[in-house]
Structure 1
Amino acid sequence: MNNNVSHIYPTRWFWIALLVPVGILLSMTVQPLLALYAGERITLQTVPVDPRDLFYGDYVQLRFAIEEVDGSVVDKALVQKMVKNPEADRYPVYVSLRKNGQTAVVAHVSEKRPRTSLYLKGELMPIWQWENGQRRAKYAIDYQLDRYYVEEDSGLEWEKLARQGKVWADVKVKGGYGVMLELKPAQ
């Protein structure tokens, strides 16, 4: 009796189709993990607003002091680019930070990656204002570090402290990527 039972083994394409999505998902964790384990710890001053998320609970909507910068720290070539192209509303930038006492502050904003290790990637948005008949720009920067979940029923306490300017956030920074570690009362 001839038994023509063939065994079906997974092909190379099966393994590729299986491993590609897994590889993509794993690659999304590399940058946050690098920042968390090998990043430099900095402290940022915050000004939060406290909403409540139905699914996640209390969180503090954060606004950092480094999110608004004066034109004196923005690269001149980038300023010229914005003046020539006023329709664009966001520009990808690298923000060099320096420690100033216990917190970090903006040292320089540029489209070029800095040589220093302490920097964040962000999106620069010009805010045009008129002063004494002249157009002047202030700049806002979005770092995607604006939400931090806190213990249930503690959000209002953090909001109260923030309105008094008494909240700092510890952030780990590596390769332009920041990971929020904790909120703490200002010292």
Structure 2
Amino acid sequence: MSNGSAVSVKRRSLLVFGLVLLQALVLAGVAVSYYAVGWFGQDVRVRTVPVDPRDLLYGDYVTLSYDISRLDPSLWKDPGSRAERGKTIFVVAAPGADGLFEAKAAYGSKPSAGQGEVVLKGRINYNWDDAIAVKYGIEKYYVPENTGQALEEKADRLIVHLKVAPWGQAAIQGLEDRKD
């Protein structure tokens, strides 16, 4: 084997090793980003109204719709741009009088959060004259089998505990029954 051939084999081996390492780092990054929400996220409680569907592969889950998922168009604060379907949206939320978080403003680019506020990252599902509908990626919550119906019966009293990371990603931590 010539010296040039050995260098070519070594270079190819390094390339393969680099590609495998890159794939492993990407997978680790995805996993770490999910757990990082729990580590660095701020506690948030929001009001919800669930619906009870069933997934044959994953079992019972509750589809959640939040007060902060339907925004008044007057909350859009980006002059010169429109809230368009499919666009990334950043919703500033702060605790209301009852301690539950409410939407205060919406932007097309990430704003800085004020004291006690969080910024939730979502995607505009649709924009009508009377509302901007937002999906945050936290609309499904899997529950133990045969418990979805019980949650549906107390839908108007449920509060969702979220963790919201500084970069806007949210993760559901649990549901609680609001005792009014």
| TM-score for both structures, normalised by structure 2 | 0.83
Question: Hey, what's the Cα distance between the residues in 1 that align with 2:88 and 2:145?
Answer: 35
After TM superposition, which residue ranges in structure 1, 4 or more long, deviate above 4 angstroms? none
How many pairs are equivalent? 165
* Identity in percent: 25
**How far off its partner does 1:89 sit?**
2.5
Answer with 139-148 or 30-39: which moved more.
30-39
2:143 matched to 1:146?
A: no
2:83 matched to 1:99?
A: no
**How far off its partner does 1:20 sit?**
1.7
After TM superposition, list the pairs within 5 Å mapping 1:47-62 onto structure 2. Answer: 47-62=49-64
Question: Hey, what's the Cα distance between the residues in 2 that align with 1:30 and 1:158?
Answer: 31
Question: Hey, what's the Cα distance between the residues in 2 that align with 1:152 and 1:25?
Answer: 30
Question: Hey, what's the Cα distance between the residues in 2 that align with 1:35 and 1:76?
Answer: 27
Structure 2 CA distance for partners of 1:21 and 1:74, relative to 1, 3 Å? same
For 1:169, the aligned partner's letter is: V
2:178 matched to 1:181?
A: no
Counterpart in the other structure of 2:157: 166
After TM superposition, list the pairs within 5 Å mapping 1:60-71 onto structure 2. Answer: 60-71=62-73
Structure with higher Rg: it is 1
Question: Hey, what's the Cα distance between the residues in 2 that align with 1:47 and 1:139?
Answer: 18
| TM-score for both structures, normalised by structure 1 | 0.80
**How far off its partner does 1:16 sit?**
1.2
**How far off its partner does 1:50 sit?**
0.5
Question: Hey, what's the Cα distance between the residues in 1 that align with 2:19 and 2:127?
Answer: 47
Q: Which whole-Å deviations, capped at 9, do the CAs of 1:45-82 have from their partners, x for residues lacking one?
A: 111110111111111011111100112211152xx533
Structure 2 regions of 5+ residues with no counterpart? 1-8
How big is the alpha-carbon RMSD for the aligned residues of Structure 1 and Structure 2?
2.1
Q: Which whole-Å deviations, capped at 9, do the CAs of 1:125-153 have from their partners, x for residues lacking one?
A: 4443xxxxxxx331111111100011111
Question: Hey, what's the Cα distance between the residues in 2 that align with 1:106 and 1:54?
Answer: 34
